[in-house]
């Protein structure tokens, strides 16, 4: 398939390139045919990995940029995957890590990532409907999944490729990666019970989201089995602003002094909980234990006595990128699905 060319010959040819590089330029440098170069850049399964690496390296070295309009005319595709994200998410943990890991997984593929935000006062359907109807991306990755998510129902009805970070009630029928928040909730409550805590306050994610229901169920089962008290916030969530979390927990610690354990679902809410505990005159790890989920190992640097479990957002992003690509290329294959089970080893 390739003309045998030494690395020095390739380097010399690369350095001699002038003008706007094309597929033909890469073919001349590599000694490959133009169709082979095109298929390598498009990650065709019949092209070997070493050939793909060579072609991509040459393309990067000479600054080759595919003509998106031409690609779309030839293939009907944009080579774009859109990550649709709420602007309200916690940038210290999930959002930044998810964007980075999806982008990294797409780095050596023909696909490019765009992040499409939607705002708190906006219908979450709007960006999804726009992408599908305009054909501005080949697939969508979503999070903040609801049990009966209208965005998922809409894309499934239109056979539009997608993958979700979280499960819907139709999860068996579509690609997803999810963290087992039910197991997280059970582990968190069990550890607090083992430390002698008798009344737990849970600050769950927004209850409309499926993972919040899983977390609440996991905590509730463990608390019932342990025979201790449980208060579940119906005022603030783990996505609420830190100041709101602080005021809520301060009020709860005053009205319910029996609370001696707190479970939260995010780094931001954990920091708010620490502030509230300390403002109440108590100490984390002494009068009140705090258990949190985090995507970046930060909280123990902030307060060493915080109890944590890690959610592997980096792995989630990589998996979702691959699941979206499979949904584009091989829609008849069973959808890629994974459920991350948290380790019960203390961090």
Helix (H) / strand (E) element for 141: namely strand 139-142
What mean pLDDT is predicted for residues 36-57?
Answer: 84
Residue 138 has pLDDT above 80, yes or no: yes
166: containing domain: 77-179+314-340
196 and 292, same domain (yes or no): yes
Beta bridge partners of 290: 262
- Say yes or no: 192 and 157 in one domain: no
pLDDT recorded at residue 90: 54
For residue 177, the cross-strand partners are: 165, 338
pLDDT band at 91 (very low <50, low <70, confident <90, very high): very low
Q: Is residue 187 part of a domain?
A: yes
Instruction: Single out the residue in 20, 42, 65 at which a domain terminates.
Output: 65
Asked if residue 305 and residue 185 are part of one domain, the reply reads yes
Residues 193 and 267 in one domain: yes
Q: Are 105 and 321 in contact (CB under 8 A)?
A: yes
CATH code, 34: 1.10.260.40
Residue pLDDT, tens place only, 230-285: 999 999 999 999 999 999 999 999 999 999 999 999 999 999 999 999 999 999 99
CA distance 103 to 166: 19
Identify the H or E element spanning 57: helix 49-62
Give the model confidence (pLDDT) of 8-36 as tens digits.
878 877 877 777 888 888 888 888 888 88
The answer to whether residue 205 is domain-embedded is: yes
Domain match, 112 and 147 both: yes
Least confident among 73-82, 87-96, 277-286, 294-303: 87-96
Classify residue 345: in a domain, yes or no: no
pLDDT digit string, tens, across residues 185-240: 999 999 999 999 999 999 999 999 999 999 999 999 999 999 999 999 999 999 99
CA distance 295 to 72: 37
State whether 212 and 266 are in the same domain. yes
What is the structure's pLDDT at 69? 56
- Whole-angstrom distance, CA of residue 237 vs CA of residue 231: 13
196 and 206 both lie in a single domain: yes
Mean pLDDT of the chain: 90
Let me know whether 256 and 285 are in one domain. yes
**Tokens representing residue 337 in the block:** 């699905």
CATH number reported for the structural domain that contains residue 280 in this entry: 3.40.50.2300
192 or 347: which leads in pLDDT: 192
* Residue 70 placed within a domain: no
Question: pLDDT per residue over 53-65, tens digit each?
Answer: 888 888 888 877 7
Q: Quick one: pLDDT band at residue 110, thresholds 50, 70, 90?
A: confident
Confidence at residue 89, expressed as pLDDT on a 0 to 100 scale = 53
Establish if 347 belongs to a structural domain: no
Q: Are residues 245 and 283 in the same domain?
A: yes
Q: Are 19 and 28 in contact (CB under 8 A)?
A: no
Q: What is the 3-state secondary structure (H, E, C) of 229-289?
A: EEEECCCCCCCCCHHHHHHHHHHHHHHCCCCCEEEECCHHHHHHHHHHHHHCCCCECCCEE
Question: CA 276 to CA 254: how far, in whole Å?
Answer: 11
Residue ending a domain, choose from 39, 65, 91: 65
- Computed over its alpha carbons, how large is the radius of gyration of the chain? 25
Looking at the structure, do residues 199 and 161 belong to the same domain, yes or no? no
Between 344 and 268, name the one with better pLDDT.
268
**Judgement on whether residues 141 and 201 belong to the same structural domain of the protein:** no
First to last CA, the chain: 52
CA-nearest of 144, 107, 110, 111 to 128 is: 144
Q: What is the pLDDT of residue 1?
A: 47
Q: Are residues 159 and 194 in the same domain?
A: no
- The domain tally of the chain equals 3
Is residue 25, in this structure, part of any structural domain at all?
A: yes
**What is the reported pLDDT for 73?**
53
Q: What's the pLDDT at 345? A: 57
Q: 328 is written with which tokens?
A: 């584009």
Whole-prediction pTM? 0.80
pLDDT at residue 343, as a whole number: 76
CA dihedral 304, 268, 294, 162 (to 10 degrees): -170
- The verdict on residue 111 lying in a domain is yes
What pLDDT does residue 236 have?
A: 97
Domain end position, chosen among 44, 65, 86: 65
Instruction: Assess if residue 167 is contained within a domain.
Output: yes
- How far is residue 172's CA from residue 148's CA, in Å, rounded to a whole number? 13
Instruction: Pick 106 or 87 by higher pLDDT.
Output: 106
């Amino acid at each position: 398939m390739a003309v045998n060319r030494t690395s020095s010959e390739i380097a010399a040819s690369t350095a001699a390139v002038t003008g706007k590089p094309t597929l033909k330029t890469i073919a001349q440098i590599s000694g490959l045919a133009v169709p082979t170069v095109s298929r390598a850049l498009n990650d065709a399964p019949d092209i070997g990995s070493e050939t793909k690496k060579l072609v991509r390296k040459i393309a990067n070295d000479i600054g080759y940029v595919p003509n998106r309009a031409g690609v779309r005319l030839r293939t009907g595709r944009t080579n774009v995957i859109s990550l649709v994200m709420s602007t309200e998410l916690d940038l210290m943990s999930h959002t930044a890590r998810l964007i980075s890991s999806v982008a990294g997984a797409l780095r050596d593929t023909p696909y490019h990532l765009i992040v499409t935000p939607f705002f708190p006062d906006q219908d979450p359907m709007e960006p999804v409907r726009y992408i599908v109807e305009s054909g501005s991306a080949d697939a969508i990755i979503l999070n903040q999944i609801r049990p009966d998510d209208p965005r998922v129902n809409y894309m499934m009805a239109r056979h539009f490729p997608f993958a979700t970070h979280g499960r819907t009630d139709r999860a068996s029928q579509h690609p997803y990666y999810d963290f087992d928040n039910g197991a997280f909730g059970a582990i968190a409550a069990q550890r607090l019970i083992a430390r002698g805590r008798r009344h737990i306050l849970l600050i769950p994610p927004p209850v409309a989201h499926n993972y919040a229901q899983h977390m609440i169920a996991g905590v509730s089962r463990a608390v019932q089995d342990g025979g201790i008290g449980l208060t579940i916030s119906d005022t603030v969530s783990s996505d609420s602003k830190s100041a709101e979390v602080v005021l809520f927990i301060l009020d709860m610690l005053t009205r319910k002094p029996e609370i001696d354990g707190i479970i939260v679902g995010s780094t931001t809410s954990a920091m708010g909980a620490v502030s509230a505990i300390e403002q109440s005159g108590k100490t984390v790890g002494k009068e009140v234990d705090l258990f949190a989920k985090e995507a970046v190992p930060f909280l123990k640097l902030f307060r060493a006595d915080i109890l944590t479990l890690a959610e592997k957002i980096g792995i989630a992003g990589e998996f979702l990128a691959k699941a979206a690509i499979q949904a584009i290329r091989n829609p008849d294959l069973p959808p890629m699905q994974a459920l991350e089970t948290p380790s019960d080893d203390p961090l």
